[in-house]
């Protein structure tokens, strides 16, 4: 118990008997006190986000695809990075722990309670607790249904939250300032290097020791890989070498697990293409270009073509290859273009081999017949190396719910039998022979995580047009 509670007015630098309004770039903030007695004092920060005004601004001030681009948006109603900005503007001195008139109050630990009317929590109640409990808070959280008329729509990601702690006001505000946008997992402004400094400033005392440090940093920096690792390094330098090593090792193991299969797959495909003596090769459905650098590294491949239906993916692939900075000789070897496996395409004729890595499962089953003709009848390379997931192996993925495919866009996943009978059918119809290889560690009765078919044209490849 702290008395008089109205000292809060000094700390916030706002008089308890007045209402004050502040103009912000995205609307207004009002501060008023619903109650102010010696026992209890409540200050309310009301944020009035002008959603229409935000959209009607010239473009470029807000990040693309952000929910704000829609008039029908939750931003005016929820605690988000807008609130953090408002806190810094309106309660700036309290946030940084300054109080001219009563400097001794700043460090005083007082029983505080913060209520957030609507706090979006991506990650739910669990994450909310994992973020605030280590900092000493008691948490009350009420989750709201999407629409009570339609109970089967389920719960929303919104909570009405009360946080209680005995700490300094500046600590409380700092925690809210950082963690609200982290829970929302969104930011209304461009996140760049300056954001690392902000995080360092506001997380100075508590972040290095926080067990959720990594996810806080990642979300605060909008999942930007470079920024995240830079910020984490800074934090760890501060915290000493010990933790540094262990976390890095953990991260490595995690990554190993994640990228392992993909790497094995790409190596296997490259190896087959090398062995068959192909010089001119296609990577059909090359996506963001994971296989292309591997092919480029092999001097045997004189001409490498990457094709994908997504123009955006191709741009990323081009970047990854550092295409514009490649030496002329290298640049000549590789070509990327947009195309679709649903259309016959004379640009694909006359190649020695084609890699079709994890592509067919993204095609609708009925459209597969077109793909077959486009590749095996019209493009008809001498060799086709084709991989696809083995659905039998899915039981081995702990995070994969039964009945779900590995990727949201997968239109189907096949068992080994299904895949092999399809591939054998193709080989018969189009004059190819086919051999199957497992990719990744095979498990008894289940097989490998990925299956690969290698088709070879029976006429030995003469007379390619």
Give residues in contact with another protein (CB under 8 A): 17-19, 30, 32-36, 42, 44, 46, 51-53, 56, 70-74, 76-78, 117-118, 120, 144-147, 149-150, 152-154, 156-158, 160, 309-311, 338-347, 362, 366-367, 369-370, 373-374, 378, 409
Do the Cβ atoms of 283 and 351 come closer than 8 Å? no
Of 118 and 200, nearer to another protein (C-beta) is 118
> Side by side, which strands form the sheet with 155-167?
110-120, 155-167, 138-145
Query: Measured on CA atoms in the order 298, 300, 301, 302, is the torsion positive or negative?
Result: positive
Supply the minimum distance, in Å, between the C-beta of residue 61 and another protein.
17
Residue 457: CB atoms within 10 Å: 19
Supply the minimum distance, in Å, between the C-beta of residue 53 and another protein.
7
How many CA within 13 A on the CB side of residue 144? 13
Within 31-108, residue ranges assigned H as helices are: 51-55, 81-90, 92-95
For the CA atoms of the chain, what is the radius of gyration?
29
Provide the token pair at 351. Answer: 């190649």
Supply the minimum distance, in Å, between the C-beta of residue 446 and another protein.
28
Helical (H) or strand (E) element with 238: helix 225-239
Supply the minimum distance, in Å, between the C-beta of residue 311 and another protein.
5
Q: DSSP 3-state assignment of 281?
A: strand
DSSP one-letter string for 135-163: GT-EEEEEEEES-TT-GGG-EEEEEEEEE
Supply the minimum distance, in Å, between the C-beta of residue 283 and another protein.
17
Of 297 and 465, nearer to another protein (C-beta) is 465
Q: DSSP 3-state assignment of 106?
A: coil
Of 20 and 246, nearer to another protein (C-beta) is 20
Supply the minimum distance, in Å, between the C-beta of residue 191 and another protein.
23
Supply the minimum distance, in Å, between the C-beta of residue 370 and another protein.
6
Of 38 and 70, nearer to another protein (C-beta) is 70
DSSP 314: H
Of 137 and 159, nearer to another protein (C-beta) is 159
Question: Which residues, 6 or more positions from 433, have their beta carbon under 8 angstroms from its beta carbon?
Answer: 427, 455, 456, 458
Of 63 and 162, nearer to another protein (C-beta) is 162
Helical (H) or strand (E) element with 36: strand 27-36
Supply the minimum distance, in Å, between the C-beta of residue 197 and another protein.
31
What span, in angstroms and rounded, lies between the C-alpha atoms of 52 and 206? 38
Supply the minimum distance, in Å, between the C-beta of residue 166 and another protein.
24
Of 33 and 137, nearer to another protein (C-beta) is 33
Using alpha carbons, select from 214, 200, 223 the residue that is nearest to residue 246.
Answer: 214
Of 279 and 335, nearer to another protein (C-beta) is 335
Of 157 and 222, nearer to another protein (C-beta) is 157
Residue 52 main-chain phi, psi, to 5 deg: -65, -45
Of 195 and 283, nearer to another protein (C-beta) is 283
Planar angle of CA 308, 283, 279, nearest 5 degrees = 145
Q: DSSP 3-state assignment of 20?
A: strand
Supply the minimum distance, in Å, between the C-beta of residue 341 and another protein.
7
């Amino acid at each position: 118990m702290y008395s008089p509670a109205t000292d809060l007015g000094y700390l916030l630098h706002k008089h308890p008997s007045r209402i004050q309004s502040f103009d912000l770039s995205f609307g207004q903030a009002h501060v008023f006190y619903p109650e102010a007695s010696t026992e209890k004092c409540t200050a309310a920060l009301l944020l009035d986000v002008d959603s229409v005004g935000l959209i009607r601004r010239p473009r470029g001030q807000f990040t693309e695809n952000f929910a704000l681009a829609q008039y029908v948006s939750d931003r005016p109603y929820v605690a988000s990075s807008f609130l953090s900005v408002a806190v810094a503007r309106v309660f700036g001195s309290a946030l940084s722990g300054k109080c001219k008139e009563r400097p001794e109050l700043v460090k005083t630990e007082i029983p505080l309670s913060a209520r957030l009317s609507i706090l979006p929590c991506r990650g739910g109640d669990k994450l909310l607790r994992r973020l605030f409990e280590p900092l000493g808070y008691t948490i009350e959280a009420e989750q709201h249904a999407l629409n009570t008329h339609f109970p089967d729509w389920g719960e929303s990601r919104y909570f009405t939250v009360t946080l209680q702690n005995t700490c300094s006001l500046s600590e409380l505000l700092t925690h809210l300032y950082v963690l609200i946008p982290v829970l929302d997992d969104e930011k209304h402004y461009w996140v760049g290097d300056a954001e690392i400094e902000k995080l360092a400033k506001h997380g100075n005392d508590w972040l290095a020791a926080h067990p959720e440090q990594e996810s806080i940093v990642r979300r605060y920096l909008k999942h930007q890989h470079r920024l995240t690792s830079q910020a984490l390094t800074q934090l760890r330098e501060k915290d000493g070498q010990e933790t540094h090593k262990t976390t890095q090792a953990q991260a490595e193991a995690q990554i190993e697990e994640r990228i392992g299969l993909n790497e094995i797959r790409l190596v296997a495909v490259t190896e087959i293409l090398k062995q068959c003596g192909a010089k001119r090769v296609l990577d059909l459905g090359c996506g963001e270009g994971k296989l292309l650098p591997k092919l480029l590294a092999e001097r045997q491949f004189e001409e490498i073509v990457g094709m994908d239906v997504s123009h955006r993916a191709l741009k990323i692939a081009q970047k990854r290859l550092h295409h514009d900075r490649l030496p002329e000789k290298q640049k000549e070897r590789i070509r990327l273009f947009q195309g679709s496996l649903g259309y016959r395409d004379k640009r694909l004729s006359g190649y020695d081999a084609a890699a079709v890595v994890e592509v067919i499962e993204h095609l609708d089953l009925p459209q597969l017949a077109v793909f077959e003709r486009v590749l095996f009848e019209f493009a008809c390379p001498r060799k086709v190396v084709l991989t696809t997931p083995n659905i039998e192996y899915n039981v081995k993925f702990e995070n994969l719910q039964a009945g779900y495919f590995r990727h949201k866009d997968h239109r189907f996943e096949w068992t080994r039998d299904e895949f092999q009978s399809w591939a054998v059918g193709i080989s018969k119809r189009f004059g190819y022979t086919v051999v199957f290889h497992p990719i990744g560690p095979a498990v008894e009765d289940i097989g490998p995580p990925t299956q690969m078919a290698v088709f070879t044209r029976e006429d030995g490849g003469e007379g390619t047009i």
